[in-house]
A and B are shown apart, each in its own frame.
Chain A
Amino acid sequence: MGILNKAAAAGAVFVLVAGSAMAQGTLKIGVQVPTTGSEATYGRDMANAVVIAQDEINKAGGVLGKKLTMVIGDSACDPQQAVNAASKLVSQGVAGVVGGYCSGATLPTLKIYGDAKVPFVITASNSTKLIPANPGNAFMINSTGDQQATKATEFLASKGVKTLAIVNEGDAYSQDLANLTRDDWTKAGHKVVAFETANKGEQDYSAIVTAIRAANPDAVFWTAYYADGALLIRQLRQSGYRGVIAVGDGSNSTKLFDIAGRAAEGVYAFSNPIAQFLPAAKAFIKTYKAKFGNAPGPYAPLTYDGMRLLAWAITKAGTTQPAAVIKALASAHNEEWLAGPITFTKHNTLARSNFIVLEDKNNAWIRADK
């Protein structure tokens, strides 16, 4: 134990020394993403987006005359690992942190960055639980669950829908979205005529289909994931239902078409801003493909924005002093980024959600809200 303790200490001291020696002329930005474990694909994608942002900023002269260097902290989508990674980033003296994928892993790190007063731009985690836990230094640039509910209510109402059926799958994410949508929808003066919970992995949805047909709503909103959603859509259409069908961002995968086939024609999906549907992201997609050989993933545009937003704030503050950078971040006002304009509420969440609406035309998603 003693030997190992010393080894651990020696390692830590080495990192600290090496860190401070390297700090000359560069500005370190922490990137907290899962690069190992089940969510590593998304973490890699986010880190790639930061690489592109970093290279572009450095080519344009860097920030405050210094080059940016990114330091990856692997959160592994695990709360404990995330805390370790966050502590390490803080000890390495990062000027700010971007990233945050799994909300459960991001949550306990808020306190660490808060205590160290490190500005943190959260680019994917979007649980509403993060909001009360935020000590004030974290900024969420991904829309939260309640913003998706608002978007769904606005969009469906604009399509002339009056009565709505909501179906979830009983897990935290889909149930949360279902409840929030029900609240928003009734507050807007419309009626929820059916509120159903499906069993995950079920093959036969006839019970739910019958209940929906009996209530005969103008629209059905599926809040869970594509695999089961696709089956429900197929069985709904087979039963002769002609109303509007909408799905949440857990179902915006093209795999929905593989299972639902032609039945998914005309289905609306709410989605976080994906690069291929963002008019401003053409160059970004090209650079990403050239550099990494594949198309950018779902959180790449937001993470790219996060890195650039942080650099913008440091430049605006004229210093890396945390309080000034946090103030600069909070002052963001409708500047245009890849995924749309950013202005923060007093809770440091987006004042205007960046959710987009997609529609299935011949088994391909097209943008439906612009």
Chain B
Amino acid sequence: MATDDRPGAGTTPALARLAGPLAALADNAAARRAGIVALLALMVVAPFVFGEYATVILTNALLYVVLALGLNVVVGYAGLLDLGYAAFFAVGAYTVGILTLRVGVNFWLTLPVAVCTAALAGVIIGGPTLRLRSDYLAIVTLGFGEIVRISARNMSITGMASGLSGIHQPWLFGWHIATPRDFYYLFCVLAILAVAVSVRLADSRLGRAWLYVRYDEDAAEAMGIDRVRVKLAAYVTGAIFGALGGVFFAVNLGAISPESFSFTQSVLILMAVILGGMGKIPGVILGAMIVILGPELLRSLGELRLLVFAVGLLLIMLFRPSGIWPGRGRQQ
């Protein structure tokens, strides 16, 4: 999946000027640090300043930041198109639902189980698709996503079509995570962790290997990179991000049903990655914020909101085909 990541590729002068400050922020280390500090401060005070509704939608946006960063490992780093990412999200959510409701396990103990189940799911989808490329890979992953959703819809352990409800909010050292504000901070921590892991992964040996495989599998293999292992690692890492997102999604909502894990969900997450710029972490975060906050900010438009939002997305993709975030991303 070679993409054109040159800075300002296909950008009109007006848009390039608009992207100027963003590029400066991305290039200048001091400015970037100041930006990050300001951002963290804003994240901490946000619920107190903006009220409960903003807290709820920001929590939702942070969930998608985690999911999009996970998919970014698969799509952006390793260049494997995945149209069934919601399946991993579902695996995490249902693991918590089933273990806490049907077995009575403490919420925090379900976390390692969810991670293992997701890793297993990653291997299941990764294994048979190792030799597939582009369109074929997309079709198989699409099928996998649908299989998981339809299974959840039909198995009695997952509550069939009506799903699982009454999932309890967890306690953490005497702190009952129950209000929207509690969950907001929980997701803040989760998103920061996801960003940190993404950054470290990109610079790691594995990250370099992904990049190599993404651009030329055969050359990578000739240079001694184990293609099978590296690709599986990408799927498993992505799956774990997705499952952890699903775990906290389930306790936040208290109820899960198959509708939450539809094909549209997978597309929404993929859209966040592509919109922001594949492989570019700040871009992916921005993308996730746009796909979630966009329709919410347009709520006052009523029925027109999805139309306006879609036109906005089309315009962005027309003028910035390699994503909103400027710069060469991980190609430097």
Interface residues of A (CB under 8 A from B): 1-2, 4-9, 11-13, 15-16, 35-36, 72, 74, 77-80, 83-85, 87-88, 90-91, 102-105, 107-108, 111, 115, 127, 129, 132-133, 170-173, 175-176
Contacts and interface: CB of A to CB of B under 8 A. Distances in A.
Nearest to B39: A2
Given A2-B42, A78-B260, A172-B160, 12 more contacts: A1-B286, A4-B293, A5-B42, A35-B302, A85-B299, A88-B296, A88-B299, A103-B162, A104-B257, A107-B165, A107-B255, A108-B253
Q: How large is the interface on B (under 10, 10 to 19, 20 to 34, 35 or more residues)?
A: 35 or more
Judged by DSSP, the binding face of A is helix
A4 B303 CA distance: 23
Contact of A80 (B50, B60, B289, B299): B60
A170 B50 CA distance: 46
Interface stretch (B51-59, B95-103, B212-220): B51-59
A132 B166 contact: yes
18 contacts: A1-B282, A5-B42, A8-B296, A9-B49, A11-B297, A15-B53, A36-B303, A36-B306, A79-B255, A79-B256, A79-B257, A80-B253, A84-B57, A88-B299, A107-B165, A107-B257, A108-B254, A170-B154
B179 interface: yes
A45 to B, nearest CB: 14
A12 B259 CA distance: 28
A78 B220 CA distance: 43
A38 to B, nearest CB: 10
Contacts of A84: 56-57, 60, 296
B267 interface: no
A91 B53 contact: yes
Those 5 A-B pairs whose CB atoms lie nearest each other, nearest first: A172-B161, A91-B53, A87-B56, A104-B257, A12-B54
A4 B289 contact: yes
B290 interface: yes
Interface string B295-328: 0110110110110000000000000000000000
Nearest to A174: B161
Q: DSSP class of B's interface residues: helix, strand, loop or mixed?
A: helix
Given A79-B257, A80-B253, A5 B58 contact: yes
Contact of A2 (B38, B162, B300): B38
A74 to B, nearest CB: 7
Interface in B196-250: none
B293 A8 contact: yes
Interface string B149-168: 00000100001111101100
A79 B56 contact: no
Interface of B: 35, 38-39, 42-43, 46, 49-54, 56-58, 60, 154, 159-163, 165-166, 179-180, 253-257, 259-260, 282, 285-286, 289-290, 293, 296-297, 299-300, 302-303, 305-306
B54 A80 contact: no
Contacts of B253: 79-80, 83, 108
Nearest to B54: A12
A184 B178 CA distance: 38
Nearest to B298: A11
Contact of B302 (A13, A72, A171): A72
B306 A2 contact: no
Contacts of B35: 2
Contacts of A80: 60, 253, 260
A12 B293 contact: no
Contacts of B303: 35-36
Contacts of A127: 162
Nearest to A176: B162
Contact of B259 (A78, A115, A171): A78
A170 B160 CA distance: 10
B78 to A, nearest CB: 24
Contacts of A78: 259-260
B57 A74 contact: no
A70 to B, nearest CB: 12
Count chain A CB atoms within 10 A of each CB in B42, B166, B253 and give the residue with the most. B253
Contact of B50 (A13, A74, A176): A13
B49 A87 contact: no
B39 A1 contact: yes
A8 B58 contact: yes
Contacts of B159: 172
Given A2-B39, A74-B299, A129-B162, A91 B286 contact: no
A272 B175 CA distance: 45
Contacts of A173: 161
A3 to B, nearest CB: 9
A35 B60 CA distance: 21
Contacts of A77: 259
Contacts of B161: 171-173
A77 B258 CA distance: 12
Nearest to B52: A91
Nearest to A12: B54
